Amino acid sequence: MIAFRRLSHAVLMSGFASILVAAPASAQTYPSQNVNVIVAFAAGGIADGLGRLVGQKLGERLKQSVVIENRGGAGGNLAARAVATAAPDGYTLLATTTALAVNETASKKRGYNTEDLRAVAIVAISPDVLAIHPSNPAKDLKEFVANGRKANFTYASAGVGTAPHIGAEYLFRAVAKVQSVHVPFTGGAPATTAALGNHVNALVLTLPTVTPHILQGRLRGIGVASEKRVPAVKDVPTYREMGFDVLSGSWVGFFAPAKTPDAIVLKLNTEINALMKAPDVQAKLAQIGFDPIFKNLPETDAYFKSEVANWGKMVRAAGVTKD
């Protein structure tokens, strides 16, 4: 009996040791297959654009294909739920926006907890922009708001609970005191299409999706929600210049299931930060109005938690709920 117990103990300890050895080894060999990135919004928006840019560069650095899948809907919750419940092995990632932080307060029926995800990297940030069709008589944000006091107006966004939606509701309801009708879409691209077709009175999105249309005169930018003007659209004044003290914008970040091994998440964070520092990537970001962000893992985690808290305050002030 004593010999059997000793043998059983030896086998158990041997198995436990093999698990300990296997854990770092799996991180060292990661990735050994394609990495899937689920984008929380439709093709053509900021999450999609940066998701594809980072995905391509990351695949080159990891020497594995990075496959992009757009799964828009529910203001980013559909994709977030899919990744939160995926295997925590580093092969399923989420590319999303500030909407993830917003939804913690604005949406109670998400189908996942924010704690089910861990931040891998927050890569870039840009302010919101308010744009209108060139046929709109308003020449600036002041005039647009003044016209809005005479009659309700519609505005499009990338979805309920996205940062531009919350920022717009805060601007219109809390600051400007005008009535508006929100028209949500599944991403920035379809919202922009509606504005280009003059199907809505205004468009509120994170700047990069709208930049080309402003520069080519297809839409008129009448305000950016930043502290100072953005070089990419230098002729568009800030909200503050127009008398509205509102700052609002959105970042794009990458997330993994919460139980993904630290070593894998660290590797992803390191590689993503490195690729974001490449001159061609930085030039592309500047051209469309993005500022890059470089944070290590502890800084990324702290930043995301602060964003959840900050956007929670704005959501409550704007009185926005999704459910």
Q: Domain for residue 295, yes or no?
A: yes
Cβ-proximal residues to 127 (8 Å cutoff; 6+ apart), any chain? 206, 207, 224, 225, 226, 230, 247, 248, 249, 289
Same domain flag for 216 and 237? yes
pLDDT at site 26:
66
pLDDT at site 215:
97
Same domain flag for 105 and 141? no
- Consecutive H or E run containing 66: strand 66-70
Distance, CA of 200 to chain centre: 24
Same domain flag for 227 and 254? no
Query: In DSSP terms, which residues pair with 257 in a beta bridge?
Result: 117
* Number of domains observed in the structure of the chain: 2
CA-angle at 79, arms to 76 and 85, nearest 5°: 130
pLDDT at site 5:
39
With tokens 């690729």, the residue in question is 275
Burial class (CB in 10 A: 0-12, 13-18, 19+), 237: middle
- On whether the CB atoms of residues 295 and 303 are closer than 8 A, the answer is yes
Same domain flag for 121 and 181? no
Helix (H, G, I), strand (E, B) or coil at 139: coil
pLDDT at site 6:
40
| Mean pLDDT, rounded, for 24-36 | 84
Q: Domain for residue 135, yes or no?
A: yes
What band does 226 get if pLDDT is binned at 50, 70 and 90? very high
pLDDT at site 314:
87
Arithmetic mean of pLDDT over the chain? 91
Query: In DSSP terms, which residues pair with 129 in a beta bridge?
Result: 205, 224
Burial letters for 270-285: b for 16+ Cβ neighbours within 10 Å, e otherwise?
Answer: ebbbebbeeeebeeeb
Same domain flag for 221 and 79? no
CATH number at residue 225: 3.40.190.10
